[in-house]
Chain A
Amino acid sequence: MPGRVTSDHGDEANLLEAVAAHRDRAAFARFFELFAPRVKGQLMGRGLSAAIADELTQEVMLTVWRKAEQFDRHKGLVSTWLFVIARNVFLNHHRRQHWPEPDALAAETTPPTPPEALFLLAEGEHHVREAMRELPTEQRETLDGAYYRGRTLRELSEEQGIPLGTVKTRVRLGLARLREALTGAPLGASAGKKAQS
């Protein structure tokens, strides 16, 4: 199973690299088949109609075509990269918002992720998906509200008629589970985690 997960990630990364290096349309078409339906599913989760989600999915995939050379398999997963692009396209086109991104931290503070960590990250993503399904319903629905529907915690508390503090607790408990699934593997995928003050 782990082998399958990582070779999947390797294949996905190969497709993006083929697009970046040779403007490979066949690789792009394959990438589209793999990911466009997932992007559309998430856009519809954010409340868009199927027709508008189709349009925005095309914008997301055009961005993939244009920015493929910015993907770096040594820095993270294909799905993570795509998630950020899809989020930004949604906010840009649908809410007319730019979404500011942090400056890359100075090289000495962000060591490149070692290959074995990426291996574990790809596995971790798989575990996160499983863990997400196994969360208690109220935690799953709350995290879903943020990740899938793009709601703030305040909006979720109003929607569900529960106190903001309860929503925060559910988020923290749920994220702790997911983080465990993501980094529960022997080598933590992210360095320098710290308790929040």
Chain B
Amino acid sequence: MPNDSIIETRALSKRYGCKLALDRLDLAIPRGRVHAIVGANGAGKSTLFRILLGFMPPSAGEARILGKDSQQLTPQDRARIGFVNEEHTLPGWMRVSQVVAMQRHQYGRWNQQVFDGVIGHYHVLPEQKVGQLSRGERAGFNLALALAQKPELLVLDEPTLGLDVVAKRAFLESLLYSNAADDCTVIYCSHQMEEIERVADNLIILERGQLRHMSAPEEFTARVSHWVADVPFKGPDPRTVPGLLEVQRLDGLHHYLVLDQDHAFEQFLRASGARTVQSMPVSLDRAVNAFLAKHHAAPAAA
């Protein structure tokens, strides 16, 4: 495999019993920038991270991180990879200053300025015990620790899960305004599309363990269009609607969210009896949700 990707998987599969968490995943994430990975629960994101960090062997295929086999990572490799999980697992019995001292000893490239810069966004005192920090403060502290390690790759696995609006904003600002984040590749995994819209340069959509899409977020948004049509009666059979992601009938109007449709779709609607047709852009949140909901499991009768 070439080494120009910071993360690269080839035909990566992971099976839990009779269920495939990763299904021959081919993924190549280039160095630099912020890459957002989204996917419904069970899409295989956590499994992917565990395999990439060497905490789980793949059932088949290859996974490389920083150009190395993910199952052969050395302590020196781990120093180059920062990881922040949604639980912000930190030793709650230690004081903030003690945790900082421990990390400073362990990470040779520790940058105190970066730490101070990030932690400045929070009202965290060195003598405070980690267990006494609020969830938002713990998230910020965890981010500060991870960035101060000066990693080449920073993996943020749903870091704002469970945070309130203020804490989320503080977290994102501390990430965006830190120079350290500019120097490394950031993998940002989240269900919060407004966050992804704000931070991500690249959007990666996983579904059922497979790569479904990878592009800039705005490119993905551009692929999804929202059409409102005044169609009498039931409208066209959904099975015949090209690129259909979602259809709703509101106030007598049919709302179609479709993928990769141009103006020909208007002709389709008109040919199906639409009296008026209107197209409008969609938000990333709505586009991703519709995209993921399309293949979501549903009862046979649905």
Whether both chains belong to one complex is answered with no
* Chain B residues close to A by CB (< 8 Å): none
* Chain A residues close to B by CB (< 8 Å): none
